[in-house]
Amino acid sequence: MSEGFGILEVDLFPSEVNNTSHPKAKEFQLLLMKVAEEYECQLTFFQVQNGTAMFAFDNDTLMADILKLFRK
């Protein structure tokens, strides 16, 4: 592995989605876990605060692919 990309932050939800136990946050976490499974890696960080989802994977290729999607 290289130096890594850190944690991605995405304003994804309304501000009332403020923790990982909210149903919308749980649904997104499950999606991220499925993606991790496809890339044979782990979701290493997941948090939601005031509508912002923050997450990281232990796979630099996946993190780079996500960053490329954000730039489009």
Would 36 be classed as within a structural domain? yes
Enter the tokens of residue 31. 């999606």
Cα(60)–Cα(63) distance, integer angstroms: 5
What band does 2 get if pLDDT is binned at 50, 70 and 90?
Answer: very low
Residue-number span of the structural domain to which 60 is assigned: 8-71
Residue 4 reports pLDDT greater than 90: no
Cα(34)–Cα(43) distance, integer angstroms: 9
**pTM value?**
0.87
How many domains does one find in the chain? 1
**Residue 8 identity (one-letter amino acid):** L
Triad 43, 45, 46: Cα angle to 5°: 95
Would 2 be classed as within a structural domain? no
Cα 21 to the center of its chain, rounded Å: 15
Residue 9 reports pLDDT greater than 90: yes
